[in-house]
Structure 1
Amino acid sequence: MGRVYATVAQYETFTGVSPAPPDTAARLATASRMLDRKVVRYYAFAADPTGLPTKPVVAEALATAVCAQVSWWAELGGSTSGADAVGWATVSIGSVSLGGGSSAQSGDDTPARQIAPEAWDALLSPDLTPDIWHRVVWS
């Protein structure tokens, strides 16, 4: 299943919304996987055998980032990825023509698949400097 960096209780504290929506645990898991793929894989930090951080400051930053991501999805209206999340610029059916959205070409171009600004704030906090290292990939 993978690591999940935040709990529903942490999300409720982060947002001030209690009870959280019924699908919150699933969204936290999805956000954790997305942040693992896009950011956390480039970090090195002390972890337990399951890969969860052992330093409280790192665990808190990851939990905050995941909660921020899920909260942002709620503002955007969903965390959908893939073809159905791609924006549209102009759509015509017969005499009806609709315009708006974006001309994104892939699911990763949509706002829902981008990292929330508040998540970046947590992940790039100077408080993490002694406890997290950025991996450099050389090719």
Structure 2
Amino acid sequence: MRVYATVEEYAAYPGAPPATSQTPGLLLRASRMLERLVLRYCQYDVDPTGLPTHPLVVAALRDAVCAQAAWWDQVGDPSGADAVGWGSVAIGSVQLGRSVTAVTGEDAPARQLAPEVWDALADPALTPDIFRMGAVTTC
């Protein structure tokens, strides 16, 4: 599995909370999520392991992964499990409710891409000759 950011890079990312023992796993999960939702539709040069070769693309993917991991710290629950299931809950005078139609966590805020991910991948320095988002090709 490709991971586009190291713990050290995450620790240096502006606004990121301090790295913990959970950080390597979060970076792996963020990399996997970005590959599934975005990178599979992008075109850029890679090495034999599938990692980007151009320094600007390397930096953009690093920043996107760090942004996603930092987002999870802000919204919590990177699995999306908190968004599944319960209908209404009452504790004293406080009542909370939400639809019970959610059977997966995909609609949870933590399963959405962080706004900063798009900022990193839309950097004007990523010119079409080195990075193309939304590229669909046939062999």
TM-score norm. by structure 2 comes to 0.82
- Whichever residue aligns with residue 112 of structure 1, its letter is A
1:98 is paired with a residue whose SS is strand
Partner of 1:69: 68
Q: Report the CA distance between 1:122 and its aligned residue.
A: 0.3
Partner of 1:124: 122
Partner of 1:91: 88
1:121 is paired with a residue whose SS is helix
CA distance in 1, matches of 2:55, 2:122: 16
Greater shift in the superposed pair: 30-39 or 72-81: 72-81
- Whichever residue aligns with residue 122 of structure 1, its letter is A
Superposed CA deviations along residues 67-92 of structure 1, whole A, max 9, x for unmatched, are 000001001123113xx232567425
CA distance in 2, matches of 1:19, 1:85: 23
Which runs of 5 or more residues in structure 2 are unaligned? none
**Contact between 1:88 and 1:99, CA under 8 Å: does it hold in 2?**
no
Partner of 2:111: 113
Q: Report the CA distance between 1:17 and its aligned residue.
A: 6.1
Identity of aligned residues (%): 44
| Larger fraction in helix | 1
Q: Report the CA distance between 1:44 and its aligned residue.
A: 1.1
CA distance in 2, matches of 1:74, 1:108: 17
- Whichever residue aligns with residue 111 of structure 1, its letter is P
Structure 1 137/87 Cα, relative in aligned 2: closer, same or farther at 3 Å?
farther
